[in-house]
Amino acid sequence: MIIGTAQIKLGANWVHSLKEKRMIVKSIIGKVKNKFNVSIAEVDNQDYHQTISLGIACVSSERKHADEMIQHVINFIEGNTEAVLEDINVEIL
């Protein structure tokens, strides 16, 4: 069993409230859950309205497949939000 994980940090400088940030985070999480078979959640920086930290996890039988799934999700998030991708930490275990 191979587990792929990623922590993504996004910057959203135009966001001025936690309510506005929650709307963006819910939108991203909903779109990813509908398109990919992965787990995704906000994992850090919940009290900072201009920083979004998302955790992603998937399970696969092959290392290559797990890495491809994580990369597809990262590319999807980057292409479907106005937030700027600031940092990515990917681990395949």
The order of strands in the sheet holding 39-44 is 39-44, 51-60, 2-11, 84-92
What is the CB-side half-sphere exposure of residue 52 using CA atoms within 13 A?
Answer: 30
**What confidence score (pLDDT) does residue 47 get?**
81
Q: Which residues of 30-48 are buried (b: 16+ CB within 10 A; e: fewer)?
A: eebeeebebebebeeeeee
CB 51 within 8 A of CB 18: no
**With 90 as the cut, is the pLDDT of residue 77 above it?**
yes
**What confidence score (pLDDT) does residue 83 get?**
86
Query: What digits encode the pLDDT tens for the residues 1-45?
Result: 999 999 999 998 888 888 898 999 999 999 999 999 999 999 988
CB 10 within 8 A of CB 85: yes
Question: For residue 2, with 0-12 CB atoms within 10 Å meaning exposed, 13-18 middle and 19 or more buried, which class applies?
Answer: middle
Q: Which domains does the chain have, with CATH numbers?
A: 2-92 (3.30.70.1120)
